[in-house]
Amino acid sequence: MKFGGTSVGSAQRMKDVAGLITREKGNVVVLSAMSGTTNALLEIASYYKKGNRDSAVDTASRLEQKYLGHIAELYASAESADAARDYVRSVFSYIEALGKEIFTDASEKELVARGEMLSTWMVNAYLQEQGVNSVLLPALDFMKKDEQGEPDSRYIKEHFAKALAQHPGADVYITQGFICRDAHGAVDNLKRGGSDYTASLLGAAALAEEIQIWTDIDGMHNNDPRVVPGTRPVRHLHFEEAAELGYFGAKILHPTCIQPAKFAGVPVRLLNTMDPSAPGTVINNIPDPGSIKAVAAKDNITAIKIKSSRMLLAHGFLRKVFEIFESYRTSIDMICTSEVGVSMTIDDTSNLSGIVADLRRYGSVTVDTGMCIVCVVGDMDWENVGFEARAMDAMSNIPVRMVSYGGSNYNISFLVREEDKEKALKALSAKLFADD
């Protein structure tokens, strides 16, 4: 069970989480830092880096005060509150001590790791105060990266099993999301939002019955309820469908985060802390033949078209085009080609002028800004018939700049003007979910 920063964002939220995780015995719980903490710690680190110790200490002591406030609210007994205050003070004096030495990237990693250490310590102590046999498993004992900087799944599997075996029969196991060690044993992390990744890695390592990602708002809808009225939560997604949708709400579940679960065949369930009895959304490897799951949209898309007579019957043309994007570290999302031209979309336009200038060497270039990708996700195996026609039919009154189909078995995407987004989402929903 993984809970994000907002879900453990206050003493009351921590108490709610404590209730959820003790409904059954033996859960492994991955927690993020309390919301705002990681950002505050990174701010402190940036002050230290700039040699601005005063601002660092100032920000740190404001954060410490916040924690002392949470403690006053969280624990019932003076004894537990005292122990928690001691712990919080030791963490913050460590943070201050870090600034007294040369502040390196390694110091920053140590510093930012304190966020998850604080939240897990507090919840574990709260559970123990409530009489729960809760065990705090330090993630740094088993979460490790390899020489390539990728999570070392074999190491994780072996050491996580060892850590669990040291405390058989506990009611609940609490551990830190996000933090890990690098291949040389130094403290590191799995990048922002990395707690989801921790949960997926541990669930896969332990071959858990299920990986639950608890968040603070409603499960995934087949559309944004503010744009299309009458949407319903999607109850089931294939891993591939979730990956397709990841681009449209990458904040929810990044595709790389669920990769370990997918490979291990462990289902992932998205649940809502605000409505804990709702069934949520299950993601697994089971297909729903012929079923269309969701329609999603992403704004702020720029389309770039390059037309060149040199492309006709030439080989190596696309490579040259793609290399230009690569040299500007800009990823391409949608792509369509004809015999003489190719259109691509990007969402990061910070290097647009350089890209366009370089592309002009190979042909005439057109740029359309203010575009929007509207995508339909579901089982769209090419041998199924009819769904392309239904989707196209829905778009019959909307100017469509690009259509992309066949890249995977799970997606058909349209590029339209941003101002047509709402119309497109409504039309597709009406046509595709008409009989649901």
Judged by the rule CB under 6 A, the positions of this chain that interact with ligand ASP are 4-5, 32-33, 38, 115, 177-178, 192-195
Exposed/middle/buried for residue 30 (C-beta within 10 Å: 0-12, 13-18, 19+): buried
Decide: 34 and 119 in contact? Cβ < 8 Å. Answer: yes
284 is in the binding site of which of Mg ion, ligand ADP, ligand ASP, none (Cβ under 5 to 8 A by kind)? none
Cα–Cα dist 353/334, whole Å: 19
The site that binds ligand ADP (CB under 6 A) totals a number of residues, namely: 15
Shortest spacing between CB 135 and ligand ASP, in angstroms: 22
Binding test (CB under 6 A) with ligand ADP, winner from 1, 4, 208, 414? 4
Q: Helix H segments across 275-351? A: 317-327
215 is in the binding site of which of ligand ADP, Mg ion, ligand ASP, none (Cβ under 5 to 8 A by kind)? ligand ADP
Check residue 166 and give left, alpha or beta (phi > 0: left; psi -120 to 50: alpha): alpha
Q: Does residue 252 bind ligand ADP (CB under 6 A)?
A: yes
Which two three-digit tokens encode residue 345?
């979309």
Shortest spacing between CB 361 and ligand ADP, in angstroms: 41
Helix H or strand E segment including 427: helix 421-432
220 is in the binding site of which of Mg ion, ligand ADP, ligand ASP, none (Cβ under 5 to 8 A by kind)? ligand ADP
Binding test (CB under 6 A) with ligand ADP, winner from 44, 220, 377, 412? 220
Q: What is the DSSP letter of 233?
A: B
- Coil, strand, or helix at residue 103? coil
Tell me the DSSP string of 160-194: HHHHHHTSTT-SEEEEESSEEE-TTS-EEE--TTT
217 is in the binding site of which of ligand ADP, ligand ASP, Mg ion, none (Cβ under 5 to 8 A by kind)? ligand ADP
273 is in the binding site of which of ligand ASP, Mg ion, ligand ADP, none (Cβ under 5 to 8 A by kind)? none
96 is in the binding site of which of Mg ion, ligand ADP, ligand ASP, none (Cβ under 5 to 8 A by kind)? none
Torsion of CA 218, 203, 288, 412, to 10 degrees: 70
Which listed range, 154-162, 181-189, 244-252, 346-354, lies at the site for ligand ADP (CB under 6 A)?
A: 244-252
What is the side-by-side order of every strand in the sheet holding 341-346?
335-337, 341-346, 292-307, 364-378, 411-417, 400-405
Q: Does residue 4 bind Mg ion (CB under 5 A)?
A: yes
Comparing CB distances to ligand ASP, the nearer of 7 and 222 is 7
| Sign of the torsion angle spanned by Cα atoms 141, 142, 145, 150 | negative
Shortest spacing between CB 190 and ligand ASP, in angstroms: 8
2 — phi, psi (to 5°)?
-115, 135
Residue nearest to ligand ADP (CB): 4
Shortest spacing between CB 15 and ligand ASP, in angstroms: 20
Comparing CB distances to Mg ion, the nearer of 151 and 193 is 193
177 is in the binding site of which of ligand ADP, Mg ion, ligand ASP, none (Cβ under 5 to 8 A by kind)? ligand ASP
Cα–Cα dist 344/246, whole Å: 19
Comparing CB distances to Mg ion, the nearer of 170 and 261 is 261
What angle is formed at CA 93 by the lines to CA 89 and CA 98, rounded to 5 degrees? 150
Comparing CB distances to ligand ASP, the nearer of 154 and 192 is 192
Enumerate binding residues for Mg ion (CB under 5 A): 4, 32, 193
Enumerate binding residues for ligand ADP (CB under 6 A): 4-7, 32, 35, 215-220, 249, 251-252
